[in-house]
Every structure is written in C-alpha cells, then in structure tokens.
Amino acid sequence: MKTLLRSFACFAISAAACLAVTKGAVAADWGTLSGQIVLDGAVPDAKVLVRKGDSTVRDAAVCAKQDLPDLSLVVDPASKGIANVVIYLTKAPKSIHPDLKAGKTATVEFDNQTCLFVPRVIAVQTGQPIKVLNTDAVAHNVHTYSTKNTAVNFLVQPGNKTGVPLKGTEQERVPFKVTCDIHPWMLGHWMVCDHPYFAVTGADGKFTIENLPAGEEIEVRMWQERSGYVQKPAKMTLKAGANDLGAIKVPVASFNK
C-alpha cells in the first residue's frame, strides 16, 4: 500500500504541474479529465471461487454451470488496464456545468447474473435511480454495507426483470460492499457521490470525466476493492478542453492481500 501511495503521490504532483491552468482562464471554461489505470507487474492468476459441476454449491444447477473466478482484480491482458476502479472528486466543485446541475437521472442497473453481480462496481449520484434485477432462475438477496446511506437487505425473486428500485441519498467516503448472503462468493461495490463528477474504469482501465470546471482546484481520488482507498488525494487544476493523465501505474504488490 505504501508503494501505491508513493505512486499516486507522484501522479498527483505531475498532474498538478501538467494541468495547471493559465491566469487567463475563466469560470465558464470546462475541461475533460481522462486517463488509464494500469497494472505495473505480471498479471496474477485469478482464483476459482466456484468450480463447474460442483454439486455441493447451493443452487448448483445455476451457480455451478461454469467456473466462477475471483473478479476482485480484473486486468486487460493486452493493455494491463485495470477495470472497476472508481475515480471521483473528494467533494463537489464550486462550479457545476449547466448540463449537470439537475443531476444524473439515467437508471443504473445492477443484475444478479450467473450467480455474480453484473456490473460488479457501480457509481451513482445522490437521487439517481438504481434498479436491482435478477436474471437467474434462483433467488438472490442484496445486502448493502453502506456507512452514510441506509443499509438494505432484501430478496430478489428469480427472473425479476422489473427490478427493485433504490436511490442513494448521501455522499459516501468510499465505495461500500454489496453481498448476497445466499451465495457468499458474490461481491460488488457501490459508490454514491453528491455531485456528477465520477467514473468507473472500463475493461481497458480507461476513464473519462467530462464538464469539470477549468481554473478551479479539485481533488481526485482513486479506489479499487483489493488495493483499497488511496488516502492522499491528487490535487490539480484543469485547463479548458482535454486533460489526459495518461497511464497511471499501480504496482502489482498493492493487490497482494
């Protein structure tokens, strides 16, 4: 973890230097922040949590149709990009883009699929709808371990494609875990922000956060479920337009827990 903190601290310093805005920037300017979270080192083998055909597993007809790997660290073999890293601002900036002032309203779906949570990691704004689905032919439950939002624990019936609606109401400090008590290997994480400036890295480890205020100092945090929360935020001031951080390398030792 110390290595990761040093790596991210170096990134913070270089980002602040590279992205410093000129004195002529005005509050009406907006910038886009992008980058790629990349594994520095050999990709570790993923453990198998459920073996195909294991009859001792609960609901084996559905849950043991195939091997279920440990997805706590998902790395793209080609680019070594790390998926499911949550990138977010520590707090809302003073200026919010006009297109984002009303808040995000698109429904985010969280499915129980082949006895896994899909997607494994989601991020939403306070008030943004979440719909919990169940594609599987067996029941699951969704048990959240939030610290600021009210924790919930409810059953999702087999084949529920209508979904159970939820909303976050409070900013969380870090993403909180979500489990299925019926199938204990199932694990996900949710992040709730009280602003619209956040992203979850894709399969290639890339992220983009649009319409950030140029000329205003912001703090950016990075969190991954195995490496944990980066304690020291990266402070930076964006210029108008594109602000590409490039590859942010995370040592493989950070995930050896």
pLDDT in tens, 3-31: 444 455 455 545 554 454 444 344 459 99
Please state the three-class secondary structure of 160-172 as a single string.
CCCCEEEECCCCC
How far apart CA 128 and CA 192 sit, in angstroms, is: 9
Give the DSSP H or E segment for 13: helix 2-18
Write the CB contacts of 205 (distance below 8 Å, at least 6 apart in sequence): 36, 37, 38, 75, 76, 79, 80, 81, 82, 83, 85
How far apart CA 207 and CA 37 sit, in angstroms, is: 8
The CATH number that domain 2-255 falls under is: 2.60.40.420
Res 253: pLDDT? 92
Please count the residues of the chain.
257
How far apart CA 186 and CA 225 sit, in angstroms, is: 14
Is the CB of residue 21 less than 8 Å from the CB of residue 237? Answer: yes
Res 233: pLDDT? 77
Residue 8: strand pairing partners: none
Flag residues of the chain having pLDDT under 70: 1-28, 230-232, 257
Structure tokens at 144: 């959240």
* Helix, strand, coil share of the chain (percent; to 5): 10, 40, 50
Work out the number of other CB atoms within 10 angstroms of the CB of residue 150: 10
Res 228: pLDDT? 87
